[in-house]
Structure 1
Amino acid sequence: MGVAMPRLVTTDSDRNVVLLGDYDYDYPREKLLRRGFEGADASVIECRFSETSRFISLTKLLLLPLFLVRIARRMREIRASGVDVDALVLTKFNPLLLPAAAYYAWRLDCPLVYDLFVSLYRTAEMRDVHPTIVSGLALLERVTLRLPDYHLVGTDQFIDLYSDMYGIPKSRFVRLPPGADGDWFYPREDVEKRDTFTILYWGNFLPHHGVGTIVGAAAELRDDPYEFVFLGSGPEQERYREMCDELALPNVRFEGFVPREDQQEWIASSHVCLGVFADDPRTLASITNKVSESVASKKATLTEESPAIDAWFEHGESVYTVPPEDPVALADAIRTLDADRDLIERLEAGGYAVYDREFDVEAIAGILDEHLFGSRA
């Protein structure tokens, strides 16, 4: 069954953005982009060639001709409508589509913007994908990432990293913080915290999350009255579960993938929410969704110290940080937070203030307005 392409809607906006990609509005990134553009008084015109966001795979390669046909059909509709387009935005995981996107941006006489959410080749490398595929992805990105007029990235550190990796001038990057899905991540101060001091992780258990450091901290605290709760699933979840079993840790529980409503309850009722702890260039350059979602939920957030975190947050005021890959320091930080509930309250308020000022939809809209529409105002 084909993807239903929405017809153009007449609006009062003088700004129009084409959002091109295979995206799922259940994922926060595309929802944030759409709301950010709408907050910048732009009408979002969809060119959605699939309702499923796919990493580069054999399936995506096989479906590529179908996707190109769908894109061509939708672009004809957009051009025939006579609407003036201010930007064509290609969503994440789509370097394969960049040549086509560049062509249509040229036909629409507008800038091409790519959401360089992650480097696919670096992600494939961390997932132990075959080296030949990793090399192919590296070559693909090195060639195609030169095409967009602008790249959206999360931090200044990613600007430095990707500029060096791909030889792209820094002036072609726009720093767009990760934000959070406000439909699910918001303060729930009416929910009582659990009786047991609870430390919460949620995510995909990717190698660059540093989950092993969290397990090491749990081992350090095996005789303390704490509980570590892991939500989600991912490539290394089973390895960490086996690690905890081998260590016979009584203070760890794996809940697996849980519905959003249950995740909300876990976040609200936990005492501390965890970020990432790996000593990896991508991790050190990132804020990560976990941190932005935690502060959006007005929770005390414990993560590793890094240039990216230091650029937005202050240790002891808006987040609590420890050195990367240091389970003893992480365990000591948890004891410190447990012993000082006033500190937890200060981190909750301070982290949420940073989110409200820098990461919410209004802030995202302001960044998009300034960098993508400022010269056309």
Structure 2
Amino acid sequence: MAERSDRPAAPRLIFFGAYDPEYPRNLIIRKGWKRLGFPFSECRAGMKMKVHTRYPALMLRYMGRAGKGDILFVPDFRHKDVPLAWALARLGGKKIVFDPLVSRYETRVLDRGDAGRGSAQAWHNRNLDRISFNLPDLVLADTAAHAEYYRESFGVRRERIGVLPVGFDEDTFHEFPQRVDDGELRVLFYGSFLPLHGVDTIVEAASALSARPIRFLLVGGGQTHGAARNMAESRRLEKVEFLPSVR
């Protein structure tokens, strides 16, 4: 008689939306799911497609083999794809999980300042957050603080939100042999210099620690890069170095 396994069958995920498959968060989750031996499929449309062409394309792909699964997983930044995923999930008796990574309102209005708080764009982004955060069966946050923000700002019920910390790609990042101690501590920042990254705080810390044997290496570029560089230069911080992005 064949041995019976008591392990329940793993749910099959359907990665759904106009997401970037190479974006680190998406790549890590897919690799992790695959490493656990769990099945998944992808129902993806071009990232630059507008809603009126993206929705039909996603529906056609979903109706094919891509739609075979138990849970629709909408990856980061795809707030606008959640309503379609929710409708398809309900029609097929499936669950939906959304991994927003950020709030559009917080990012575009409060952080970047692309629109004023009382503007139509602010209302649009806040409303899109509220809809996309409350339709899914589960919303993922990258930190406990973000989870609390989603609950307080958009009314997401506590039992419908979970925390999945940002990880790293083990195929890219490896442990290096310990370097020879030359008496200097090196601090590395690598990012796109968004306001929420707080590079100005890093420069402030470098200024406060300028007499210590600590070197700061800031790699990348973006919105606050110029201001951070000017701050470092105005304070004559010789141990703060700026380098362009590495790809």
TM class, shorter-length: 0.7 to 0.9
Judge which range, 172-181 or 38-47, deviates more.
38-47
Contact (CA 8 Å) 1:197, 1:225: kept in 2 or not? yes
Match of 1:63 in 2: 50
**Matching of residues 95-134 of structure 1 within 5 Å:** 95-124=79-108, 125-131=110-116, 132=119, 133-134=121-122
Deviations 1:306-362 (A, max 9, x none): xxxxxxxxxxxxxxxxxxxxxxxxxxxxxxxxxxxxxxxxxxxxxxxxxxxxxxxxx
- 1:257 equivalent in alignment to 2:242: no
Q: Secondary structure at the match of 1:117?
A: coil
Shift of 1:127: 0.4
Structure 1 SS opposite 2:210: coil
Decide whether the 8 Å contact of 2:188 with 2:216 is kept in 1.
yes
Give the aligned partner of residue 13 of structure 2. 17
Partner of 1:165: 153
Deviation at 1:49, TM superposition (A): 0.7
- Please give the per-residue CA displacement for 1:26-45, whole angstroms capped at 9, x wherever unaligned: 32211122123224432111
CA spacing shift, 1:199–1:157, aligned 2, 3 Å: closer
Letter in 1 for 2:51: L
C-alpha distance in 1 between matches for 2:35 and 2:159: 24
Q: Percent identity?
A: 28
* RMSD over equivalenced CA pairs, Å: 2.3
Q: Does 1:35 align with 2:35?
A: no
> 1:15–1:41: 8 Å Cα contact kept in structure 2?
no
**Normalization by structure 2: what TM-score?**
0.85
- Cα pair 2:183 2:213 within 8 Å, conserved: no
1:74 aligns with 2:61: yes
Structure 1 letter corresponding to 2:93: D
Match runs of 1:161-240 below 5 Å: 161-189=149-177, 191-192=179-180, 196-240=184-228
Distance of 1:198 and 1:182 partners within structure 2: 22
CA distance in 2, matches of 1:246, 1:159: 38
- Alignment deviations for residues 234-285 of structure 1 (CA, whole Å, 9 cap, x no partner): 21011111111222221111012123xxxxxxxxxxxxxxxxxxxxxxxxxx
The structure-2 alpha-carbon separation of the partners of 1:229 and 1:193, relative to structure 1 and needing over 3 Å to count, comes to farther
| 1:114 Cα deviation after fit | 0.5
Q: What secondary structure does 1:88 align onto? A: strand
Mean Cα displacement is larger for which, 111-120 or 13-22?
A: 13-22
1:297 aligned partner: none
Distance 1:107 1:136 in 2: 27
Structure 2: any 5+ residue segments left out of the alignment? Answer: 1-8
Which residue number in structure 1 is paired with residue 5 of structure 2?
none
Q: CA deviation at 1:151?
A: 0.7
TM-score, normalization: structure 1? Answer: 0.57
Residues in 1 aligned to 2:159 and 2:213: alpha-carbon distance in whole angstroms: 51
Task: Identify, as 1 or 2, the structure richer in helix.
Answer: 1
2: distance between equivalents of 1:87 and 1:205? Answer: 34
- How far off its partner does 1:135 sit? 2.5
Provide closer, same or farther for how the CA distance between residues 223 and 154 of structure 1 changes in structure 2, counting only shifts above 3 A.
Answer: closer
When structure 1 is superposed on structure 2, of 244-253 and 32-41 the one drifting more is: 32-41
CA distance in 2, matches of 1:184, 1:73: 35
Whole-angstrom distance in 1 between the partners of 2:38 and 2:162: 18
* Bigger relative contact order (CA 8 A; separation at least 6): 1
From the superposition, tell whether residues 104 and 189 of structure 1 become closer, same or farther in structure 2 (CA, over 3 Å). same
Q: What is the CA distance between 1:78 and its match in structure 2?
A: 2.9
Letter in 2 for 1:130: A
- Cα deviation for residue 164 of structure 1 reads 1.6
How far 1:212 moved relative to its partner? 1.6
Q: 1: CA distance between counterparts of 2:185 and 2:129? A: 45
Count of matched residue positions in the alignment of Structure 1 and Structure 2: 235
Distance apart, 1:118 and its partner CA: 1.1
Q: Which amino acid aligns with 1:48?
A: R
Secondary structure of the residue aligned to 1:182 is coil
Q: Deviations over 1:221-246 (max 9, x none)?
A: 33444321101112101111111122
SS of residue in 2 equivalent to 1:145: helix
